[in-house]
Chain A
């Protein structure tokens, strides 16, 4: 049971990450491979503020969202000029830059040593020590992110984004300020990723930069491509599959090191097969 709760928490974290990345990739059509950077910003903000400044979880969460949002805003202004694969490459770059900062700004982040002993959130005076209670918080935040994203996707703003995805020039001719739309959606997406980061930090209680690498961004991208672009429920399904699938491999009885690598092989093959036979994923309404 404890194991299932653990899996449920991890799945909901990845569902939050998937949904938020879907806003950028699925709706705005920008192939972003830098989501782990915002995830990391959220995690590090919560870790540092709760441990060293003694702030509560929720204030640190809001702070993390603000910082990630600002970072994404700056990144979007620079990368907004690029399209298609160039955009993807530039977003690669930002992930590596943020990773380098986490790894090398040792006075702040303790570098590769990581930050241990991050406290659990306190809700209504009660610390969420039990994983079951933490799961409720994670699900609640997942619900908030899901509803917010659905609302954005259905709003006129979301429709304009889809228009940008299909044909940017037309929207520009109609007088939409395309760059602003892209910047706003990137910031919102980054803020949601920071929520997942804060949850992750307080759940695992130890973070180090190796969690927030390019591979993690690729993993999150695989989730939404499998689940389907421009479909929020698809992202949740994708997250569930990608978290649970390797657990099945564990029961096959491979040694842990091999199991971890087999997982990577499976992810890679899934990506290739999806691209070849079903580029829109399980329930997507938009294909790259």
Chain B
């Protein structure tokens, strides 16, 4: 029985991380309508930027400044991938499958570049002291980093909700999401909006990657693992829906962590995909339908 509080805490932490990935993923999917498999790799890019700044270059930076640079870097790379690869493809009216395969190529290449630059070993961002202090909440252990993870996912969803509802940019994104052609007709520069969406989405992914780096560690292939979970969460919650994805991430976090209550933790990935397949069969539109 004493394990239940810990399982709940773990589920919430996992859910928050998945939510960060899902939010960016959904944002991009909403406007471009294809599964951007390269989304997760920007998590790794963000984390490795911080790793380079703090551990290799050893710059005398405040940790928060380093994290901010990492987030911006990830966003910038996402923007660049859109401009270099996805924008030309979109102009050629490529199908969503072509875009998906191109993003698959991008993941393979970027992951390998990271492995060449930083070796493929599992490394940690942990700098000793910062973020590792652990609290005891009703018999469950939670570290400072993990609290930051939960807080930032709530902040990000609130921020995105605010942007979508109250800013011109948010409304433009909404217009592109509903119908790109018509949005263009009424004078919205759709490609510019989509590029910005890529920047924001990838920056959020970068944030997730950095947080994972501080919580457990980083490796070049971390992007793919986290992306698969983010995609599953997006589909469970309803693809393209902001709050749906947030909800889906927590559903996935809970199912995964309670699923391995009695069996070995290695089955987590399989459980996640079984949940996905069940959802696709029973409720393909997700919890919240757009």
**Interface residues in chain A, defined as those with a beta carbon under 8 Å from any beta carbon in chain B:** 31, 78, 81-82, 84-86, 88-90, 92-94, 96-97, 100-101, 103-104, 214-215, 218, 221-222, 225, 257-258, 261-265, 267-272, 274-276, 279, 287-288
Contact with A along B100-118 (1 / 0, CB 8 A): 1110111111111101100
**Given the complex, which residues of B lie within 8 Å of A100, measured CB to CB?**
266-267, 269-270
Inter-subunit contact A93/B109 (CB<8 Å)? no
Given A264-B112, A272-B106: A78 and B269 interface contact (C-beta under 8 Å): no
Interface pair A85/B281, CB less than 8 Å apart: no
Number of interface residues of B (CB under 8 A): 43
User: Would you call A90 and B280 a contact (CB within 8 A)?
Assistant: yes
**CA gap between A265 and B102 in the complex, in Å:** 13
Docked pose: A82 CA to B102 CA in angstroms: 21
Pair A84/B96 contact, Cβ less than 8 Å: yes
B280 touches A82 (CB 8 A): yes
Dominant secondary structure of chain A at its interface with chain B: helix
User: Do B111 and A264 touch (CB < 8 A)?
Assistant: yes
17 A-B pairs within 8 Å (CB atoms) are namely: A31-B100, A78-B277, A78-B281, A85-B96, A85-B100, A89-B35, A96-B228, A104-B267, A214-B224, A221-B104, A225-B101, A261-B120, A268-B110, A272-B105, A275-B102, A287-B98, A288-B97
Q: A272 with B109: in contact, given A261-B115, A262-B116 (CB under 8 Å)?
A: yes
The interface centre, meaning the residue of B85, B273, B276 with most chain A CB atoms within 10 A of its CB, is: B273
**Distance to closest chain A CB from B285 (angstroms):** 12
Residues of B within 8 A of A88 (CB): 35, 97, 100
Among the interface residues B95, B97, B100, which one has the most CB atoms of the partner chain A within 10 A? B97
User: What residues of B have a CB within 8 angstroms of the CB of A222 in the complex?
Assistant: 105
Could you say which residues of chain A place their CB within 8 Å of the CB of B266?
Answer: 100, 103-104
Given contacts A90-B277, A92-B273, 15 further A-B contacts (CB under 8 A): A85-B96, A88-B97, A261-B115, A263-B112, A264-B111, A265-B113, A267-B108, A269-B109, A272-B106, A274-B105, A275-B105, A276-B85, A279-B98, A287-B98, A288-B101
Report chain B residues within 8 Å CB of A257.
119-120
Determine the distance from Cα of A274 to Cα of B109 in the docked complex, in whole angstroms: 14
Contact across chains for B231 and A89 when beta carbons are under 8 A apart: yes
How near does chain B come to A96, taking the closest CB pair, in angstroms?
A: 5
By Cβ-Cβ distance, the 3 closest A-B pairs, closest first, are: A268-B109, A271-B105, A264-B112
Give Cα A114 to B132, complex, Å: 37
Q: Point out the residues of chain B lying under 8 angstroms from A104, CB to CB.
A: 264, 266-267, 270
A105 to chain B, nearest CB (A): 10
Residues of chain B within 8 A (CB-CB) of A275 are 89, 94, 98-99, 101-102, 105
* Beta-carbon contact of A271 and B35 below 8 Å: no
Q: Is the interface of B mostly helix, strand, loop or mixed?
A: helix
Report whether B102 and A276 are in contact in the complex, using a CB–CB cutoff of 8 Å.
Answer: yes
Closest B residue, CB atoms, query A93: B273
Q: CB < 8 Å: which of A92, A214, A262, A270 contacts B105?
A: A270
CA distance A84 to B97 in the complex (A): 7
CB of B88 closer than 8 Å to a CB of A: yes
Q: Which residues of A contact B267 (CB under 8 A)?
A: 100, 104
Shortest Cβ distance from residue B3 to the other chain A in the assembled complex, whole angstroms:
21
CB atoms of A85 and B105 under 8 A apart: no
Distance A93 CA – B99 CA, assembled complex (angstroms): 20
Does any Cβ of A come within 8 Å of B274's Cβ? yes
Q: Is the Cβ of A268 less than 8 Å from the Cβ of B280?
A: no
Q: What residues of chain B lie closer than 8 Å to A274, measured between beta carbons?
A: 105
Q: Shortest Cβ distance from B105 into chain A, in angstroms? A: 3
- A96 in contact with B105 given A258-B116, A265-B113 (CB within 8 Å): no
Q: Do A272 and B102 touch across chains, with their CB atoms under 8 A apart?
A: yes
Contact between chains at A265 and B109 (CB < 8 Å):
yes
Give the nearest-CB partner of B111 in chain A: A264
A286 to chain B, nearest CB (A): 12
CA distance A262 to B117 in the complex (A): 11
Contact with A101, one of B96, B116, B270 (Cβ below 8 angstroms): B270
B52 is an interface residue with CB less than 8 A from chain A: no
Which residues of chain A are within 8 angstroms of B176 by Cβ–Cβ distance?
none
Residues of chain A lying within 8 A (CB to CB) of residue B104: 218, 221, 271
Q: Give every chain A residue within 8 A of B112 (Cβ-Cβ).
A: 261-265, 268
